[in-house]
Amino acid sequence: MSKLLVRNFSISLDGFGAAPSQSLDNPLGVGGGSLHEWIFATRAGREMIGADGGDEGVDHSFFSNRGTNVGATIMGRNMFGPVRGPWGDVEWDGWWGEDPPFHHPVFVLTHYPRPPLEMQGGTTFHFVTDGFESAYDAAFAAAGDRDVLVGGGAETIRHYLRSGLIDDMHLAVVPILIGSGERLFEEGGPSSADYRCVEHVCSPAITHVRFSRTN
């Protein structure tokens, strides 16, 4: 049975998935780039940006599994790009260049319509204006018998957690303190009655924690 997944979502020790003041120059907010340093230290992360080298330890193992059996991705508008309000004449095709690393349909939550954006490598961005449940239905229809990944950001993941729809969630806990920004867990979020820890692995850089839904 297909599942709704979160994989490799980085949070700080104080629970933030992004720092304040997100922008084109600082897509994860001022100081938020340190949340993803562990990714680009791995061989899989360096391959994603066309670079050589990288570590092949436990962090590589987790990150290289990011697309296994995934047939579609859901993301919030902030994860797609820094543009706010109506799209207008602003040309923005995402953070990932002409050949994004998804290679399957991606459904972007937004309040403003935009035609689908077809990229190289099999990635097409679809812009969903009628809510996270509609994006959920469209993503599973596109994925067929494969899984659907919720890529982020924190607010998008919270929508699906509060609805009890996420089946498996892998968090990468980075040993830094951000202080403010976009927090993953807020009041009314999941509890141990909803999810149980099924994997807990530490590397020299971070702690990997994976939760599965209990019912």
Q: Read off the pLDDT of residues 164-186 as tens digits, 9 standing for 90 and up.
A: 999 999 999 999 999 999 999 98
pLDDT-derived band at 23, boundaries 50, 70, 90: confident
Structure tokens at 94: 């995402």
- Is 52 part of a structural domain of the chain? yes
Tokens standing for 167? 């089946």
Question: Is 90 among the domain residues?
Answer: no
Residue 89 within a domain: no
Instruction: Quote the number of domains for the chain.
Output: 1
Q: How confident is the model at residue 124 (pLDDT cuts 50, 70, 90)?
A: very high
Indicate whether 40 belongs to any domain. yes
Residue 189 has pLDDT above 80, yes or no: no
Residues 37-54 have a mean pLDDT of 94
CATH number for position 142:
3.40.430.10
The pTM of this model reads 0.93
Q: Which residues are CB-neighbours of 62 under 8 A, at least 6 positions away?
A: 7, 8, 170, 172, 201, 208
Predicted confidence band of residue 95 (pLDDT cuts 50, 70, 90):
confident
- Tokens representing 142 are 């596109």
53: in domain: yes
Residue at 91 is within a domain: no
Q: Mean pLDDT throughout 114-142?
A: 96
Residue at 182 is within a domain: yes
> How would residue 52 be classed by pLDDT, with cut points 50, 70 and 90?
very high
Domain presence at residue 159: yes
pLDDT above 90 for 63: yes
Average pLDDT on 89-93 reads 71
Domain residues for the domain of 65 are: 4-19+26-84+96-213
CB-based contact 17:154 (threshold 8 Å): yes
What is the DSSP-derived secondary structure letter of residue 55? B
Q: Residue 90: is its pLDDT beyond 70?
A: no
